[in-house]
């Protein structure tokens, strides 16, 4: 078993994989909110309240994500935009970067062994 992948030559790929994992979680969460029923409304309210607790950037970030002072149709529009436009592009970008770093590491291993 290989330990310490987050250090050394495999660090970049490891961190990209963690970012991909978080983007998948964000995509799943935003997809759940698109039903926009009572549960989705309160789920969004709770998550935005937790985001507000982040130091320095929390209040501003929650206001941007919410689209104002209250959770409303603007919040749904921003959630839909993030879910259908921004998050998939970020996932594809990080996936391509991850594969590129993987191939680069494999080539370095082959070149070092020969």
Over residues 48-106, the pLDDT tens digits come to 999 999 999 999 999 999 998 899 999 999 999 999 999 999 999 999 999 998 888 88
Q: Token match 């790929």: residue?
A: 13
What is the distance between the alpha carbons of residues 41 and 44, in angstroms, rounded to a whole number?
5
pLDDT of residue 54: 94
Q: Structure pTM?
A: 0.79
pLDDT of residue 113: 56
Count of CB atoms situated within 10 Å of the CB of 79: 21
For the range 41-48, what are the long-range contacts, defined as Cβ-Cβ under 8 Å and sequence gap of 24 or more?
41/71, 44/71, 44/75, 44/79, 45/71, 48/75
pLDDT of residue 11: 80
């Amino acid at each position: 078993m290989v330990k310490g992948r987050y250090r050394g030559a495999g660090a970049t790929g490891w961190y990209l994989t963690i970012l991909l994992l978080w983007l998948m979680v964000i995509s799943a969460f935003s997809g759940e909110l698109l039903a926009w029923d009572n549960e989705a409304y309160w789920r969004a309210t709770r998550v935005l309240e937790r985001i507000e607790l982040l130091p320095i950037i929390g209040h501003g970030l929650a206001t941007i994500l919410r689209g104002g002072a209250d959770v409303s149709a603007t919040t749904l529009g921003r959630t839909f935009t993030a879910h259908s436009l921004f998050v998939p592009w970020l996932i594809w970008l990080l996936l391509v970067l991850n594969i590129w770093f993987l191939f680069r590491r494999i080539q370095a291993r082959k070149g070092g062994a020969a």
